[in-house]
Amino acid sequence: MKSKLIILGTLSCFLAACGGNKPVDLTETKSASPKKADIGIITEKALSSYARLPGLLVPFNSVNLFPKANGFVKQIFVDRGSVVKKGQLLLVLEAPEMESQLQAANSRYLQAQETATASKEKYARLKEAAAEPGSVSPLDLDNASAKMRADDALTQAEKSNVQSVRTLQGYLRVYAPFDGTITERNVSPGALVAPGKATDQPMLVLQDAHKMRLEVAIPEDYVDNVDLTQNVVFTFNAMPGVEHSARISRSANSLSSMRSETIEIDVDSKNDLKPGMYAEVKIPMRSGAKSLLVPNNAIVRSTERHYVVTANNGKAKLVDVKEGMAGKDSTAVFGNLSPGDKILNNANDEVKDGDTVR
């Protein structure tokens, strides 16, 4: 009985305490003070930056060796990977019919020589006899002189023909046009070869990789903005993290069918660099005129539009922009903006037109 009274007394005190307080409204939230916006300023100046473009490493000199005349491969003195010197004999061809052509040309030349000699002697005798008045008519003397000159001209022509055939025979021996390395060998002894086009398979491919060219195609939009006073920085995909630096050596000064201009960077050859390697090249760029620059994080990008949020007079306004060159911290933009306009840094698509910006 006593314990029941204690429980009832405790319960009465608890209800009394609850009745003395106001009920708590869980839906009531405490309004947070608006966070201060990060405001930036639009500046106007020339932007120095770089364009990241792919490049291809090619040999400084490269040639596909084709035969000049039809023939069979007789001997090959090199193979893939052979290091050769300028003027070194690479392979020998044979063409039996060319020997017959040379013999025939020689025969015609000897015949023309004999004919020319006889004509010259006949003219000399007639001229000697013409010293006696009335013994030789002037017409016969003129005809003999013309025949002598014609036979002499024919002799010179046959001599040139012999030299031409001998020159063709010289093409049966193929020599290296410069120092380099044989990178392809596509024939074997006994193979029939013939003069080909650039699209045909060559007998040998010779490349000079002591110095190489890094070829980069500059898009038309960037051609006039390349900064030739700065070094180009590039890394090869096969050697990530290893940076190289060099100056632009030459440019095509003409746009290709792909609307780009090819530039070349001379690269000293090293044991770890091979022709055909791909590189990522940072081409230094400069702005030809002053541009409106905004911080990189001030541009809001969506699938529909790119824009910045201005904060003039404490009100947000969304202004569409077109992006130009991008630098490390700033990006050139084009739109309805003016130097000195205030914009929101770290803007996002939650900010709407007319929102209060503090």
pTM score > 0.85 for this model?
Answer: no
Helix axes 138-170, 96-129, angle to 10 degrees: 160
CATH assignment of 290-344, among 3.40.50.2300, 3.10.20.30, 2.40.420.20, 2.40.10.120: 2.40.420.20
Buried b (16+ CB within 10 A) or exposed e, 305-344: eebbbbbeeeebbbeebeebbbeeebbbbeeebeeebbbb
Token pair 């000195």 is at which residue? Answer: 340
Q: Which of these, 296, 287, 335, 307, lies nearest to 45 by C-alpha position? A: 287
CATH assignment of 51-59+208-286, among 2.30.40.10, 3.40.640.10, 1.20.120.1200, 2.40.30.170: 2.40.30.170
* Cα 212-50-269 angle, rounded to 5 deg: 15
CB-side neighbour CA atoms (13 Å) of 281: 26
Q: Which of these, 13, 23, 52, 37, lies nearest to 284 by C-alpha position? A: 52
Looking at this protein, which amino acid is placed at residue 137?
S
Q: Do domains 51-59+208-286 and 96-170 have the same CATH topology?
A: no
> What does the alpha-carbon distance between residue 47 and residue 36 come to, in Å, rounded to a whole number?
30
Q: Which of these, 324, 250, 329, lies nearest to 286 by C-alpha position? A: 324
Q: Which of 6-10, 38-42, 187-191 has the lowest mean pLDDT?
A: 6-10
Give tens-digit pLDDT for 78-108: 999 999 999 999 999 998 888 888 889 899 9
> What does the alpha-carbon distance between residue 108 and residue 153 come to, in Å, rounded to a whole number?
13
Fold designation for 96-170: Helix Hairpins (1.10.287)
Residue 344 near residue 297, CB atoms below 8 Å? no
Looking at this protein, which amino acid is placed at residue 319?
V
Give tens-digit pLDDT for 119-157: 999 888 888 887 788 777 888 888 888 989 998 999 999
Domain assignments of the chain as residue spans, ordered by start: 51-59+208-286, 96-170, 290-344
> How far is CA 341 from each of CA 14, 312, 316, 319, 344, rounded to the nearest angstrom?
63, 7, 12, 11, 10
Give tens-digit pLDDT for 259-306: 888 989 999 877 678 889 999 998 887 765 567 888 888 899 888 889
pLDDT of residue 12: 53
Q: Say yes or no to pLDDT of 201 above 60.
A: yes
